[in-house]
Chains A and B, each alone.
Chain A
Amino acid sequence: MDPQAELEQALTSRLGGSTAPHSTELEPLLQVADRLRSGGGMPSPEFTAALQARVVARTQQLAAGRQHLTETQPLPARLQASDPARLPDTTRPTPLRRLRSLPAAAVLAATLLIVIGSTIAFAAGAAPGSSLYGLRRLEQGVRSQLSPDAVSKARLHLSYARDALMSLNTAGVQGNDGAYREALNTLASETQAAQSAAAQVPAGADRDALSADLTSFQTQATADLRAALPRLSWPTRATTTTVLGQMGATIPQVSKARVVTVHQSSSSHGTSLKVLRIVVDGSGFLPGAVILLDGHPAGTMISVTPFEAIAQLPSTDSIRGDGHSIGIGNPNGMAAYSTKYDTTDEQGDSGSSVDPNSDQETPVASPSPTPDAHSGGGHH
């Protein structure tokens, strides 16, 4: 056999942990290969962690559009000239400069490590709503990505979701809407991530245990979120309702909303009256539900069925144009909003009687669209 091919065959076996027959002339070469394979080693764990922090920090800085970080790093001259292809002579470091700069570099490196370490340590305890919470989430993301298997990953996500639920409960009690929303976002994403990771676990005891833990957690989270609802603003209730829906709760949903301007003539006064009616279609509406306009209950409820709710407002209220939000609020605190609404003009029967300024519910004639009815494009 060709010696080169024979060496290749023997080397492949050797690198794979086995041995193949070979001529004795090749033995010195294979011994050299063994020495190479066994040498080299790995950098220290301290260096590995510190460099990872620097890589992440530099990435974030570049992403944020900031430049010239290298001026503040321990190896400035060499790092400034980091073009892999070419390096200007003027920026090349020299051994003397390098040796002279070693103490300063060591101080800078130590300072950087302390700053990074302290920041990460502080961020590890950062609560939703704090400025360091983003860093904490980033650190959590890195940790979950480095999980060795799907089971560990799912459990890590579940633990983050549990932390978020605790923070959410605290923020809800304190009335801290911003912190509540941040914790709610974390809760939703981490629960979803835990479910995705659990789905990748092969069927068996691990998967069953994970499923049980997830179900138990979701039951707890659903109960906590329901309990928090009355303390929240209606927009935050709507966001919470969406998360409740993701966890399997039955929630109200709005499919369509319209604002109808009804023109009616008053037989007693001989004048024409104009009222606004908000009609919301969807599902899951409960008796006692209110229609929400721009985050607040609006007008007088005329009727509520599981699929439709109607409220009436004085004509002095204006809902035409963009920028309004329309939704439904159930008495249990759940809420939902429409993504858009239409506006139409309708002509009421002349014999109907409506007092737009009255809080009393008054039977209203069924509206009939007029030829000039139009559709508006309000979005929120």
Chain B
Amino acid sequence: MTWPPNQPFERILAQARDLEPTAMSLLYSRFLPTVYRFIHARVSDPHQAEDVTAETFLAMVEHISQARAQDELSFAAWILGVARNKVLMYYRSSRTHQADSYEPAQMDHRPAEGDEGDPLAVLTAREHWQEIVAALNQLTDDQRTVVLYRCILGYSSDDVAKLMGKNNGTVRALQFRALASLARILEATSVNGGFRKRQAPSAKERGSQHGSSSRA
């Protein structure tokens, strides 16, 4: 991902709003790692994460003219909001039609064709990541968002506060409780031998995703 020299983000964003293909392509390259990591932290299967990522970027193209973002950080907040909704849609559809009828063959317990390295290592890594995703999905929406922005996407705490529209103290509190909860959940997982089902967001946190909860 290389941003052209002497090209302010605002200019590229303006060109992308005018549907200039090169500018749109640059935005894609810039935000693909962020968006994919964000989604993969919610959807453990890499192929499904890629599907949701594709939907997110095609939605970006469709709706970029409506984005009010003026700088890189506010644009990141916008596109991650798009990604978040796509993830939510993914889980809604899974909940409606799959319920808890988890079928191992449909999940990611098999290495994809073309994956490099030891298949056993790939399998193990995916299972570990699936455990993390399942644990993340047990957090509240705000807790999960802080952890995603801070630990997976690498934003500074100041940027996370701006992205979420909260003050630094609240972000620190959310971060502390989120990591503590994750440590507890993952510890219990290792004791119990791992998750046996895909963990969708709980009813409480789904409620919070609709804006009714901001529990820190």
Residue B132 CB within 8 A of the other chain: yes
Asked if residues A48 and B5 are in contact (CB atoms below 8 Å), the reply is no
Which of B68-76, B171-179, B201-209 forms contacts with chain A?
Answer: B171-179
Residues of B within 8 A of A96 (CB): 97
Asked if residues B151 and A43 are in contact (CB atoms below 8 Å), the reply is no
Residues of A within 8 A of B62 (CB): 58, 62, 82
Cα A70 to Cα B63 with chains together (Å): 14
Cα A116 to Cα B146 with chains together (Å): 39
Task: Select which of B53, B98, B106, B183 is within 8 A of A29 by beta carbon.
Answer: B183
Task: Select which of A55, A85, A98 is within 8 A of B58 by beta carbon.
Answer: A55
By size class, the interface of chain A is 35 or more
Instruction: Please judge, given known A-B contacts A51-B54, A82-B55, A87-B85, whether A31 and B183 are in contact too, CB under 8 Å.
Output: yes
Asked if residues B93 and A93 are in contact (CB atoms below 8 Å), the reply is yes
Cα A47 to Cα B187 with chains together (Å): 34
Task: Select which of A32, A41, A58, A59 is within 8 A of B183 by beta carbon.
Answer: A32
Asked if residues A47 and B179 are in contact (CB atoms below 8 Å), the reply is no
Residue A107 CB within 8 A of the other chain: no
Instruction: Please judge, given known A-B contacts A11-B175, A150-B5, whether A52 and B29 are in contact too, CB under 8 Å.
Output: yes
Task: Select which of A52, A63, A82 is within 8 A of B25 by beta carbon.
Answer: A52
Residue B111 CB within 8 A of the other chain: no
Which of A137-145, A158-166, A175-183 forms contacts with chain B?
Answer: A137-145
Q: Which of B105-153 contact A (CB under 8 A)?
A: 106, 114, 128-129, 132, 147, 150-152
Cα A168 to Cα B30 with chains together (Å): 36
The count of A-to-B residue pairs whose CB atoms sit within 8 angstroms is: 189
Nearest CB in chain A: distance from B195 CB, A:
15
Asked if residues B93 and A4 are in contact (CB atoms below 8 Å), the reply is no
Cα A55 to Cα B183 with chains together (Å): 39
Asked if residues A141 and B172 are in contact (CB atoms below 8 Å), the reply is no
Cα A51 to Cα B58 with chains together (Å): 9
B8-26 vs A, Cβ < 8 Å mask (1 yes, 0 no): 0000000000011110111
Residue B82 CB within 8 A of the other chain: yes
Asked if residues A84 and B54 are in contact (CB atoms below 8 Å), the reply is no
Query: Which residue of A is nearest B101, CB measured?
Result: A95
Residues of A within 8 A of B157 (CB): 8, 12
A5-48 vs B, Cβ < 8 Å mask (1 yes, 0 no): 10110011001000000000000111111011101111110011
Given contacts A52-B25, A75-B51, 14 further A-B contacts (CB under 8 A): A7-B175, A28-B183, A29-B179, A29-B180, A29-B182, A35-B186, A39-B128, A42-B37, A43-B36, A43-B50, A47-B50, A54-B54, A78-B55, A93-B89
Query: Taking beta carbons and an 8 Å cutoff, which residues of B are in contact with A?
Result: 2, 4-6, 19-22, 24-26, 28-29, 32-33, 36-37, 40-41, 46, 49-51, 53-55, 57-63, 78, 81-82, 85-86, 89, 92-94, 96-98, 106, 114, 128-129, 132, 147, 150-152, 154, 156-157, 169, 172-173, 175-176, 179-180, 182-183, 186-187
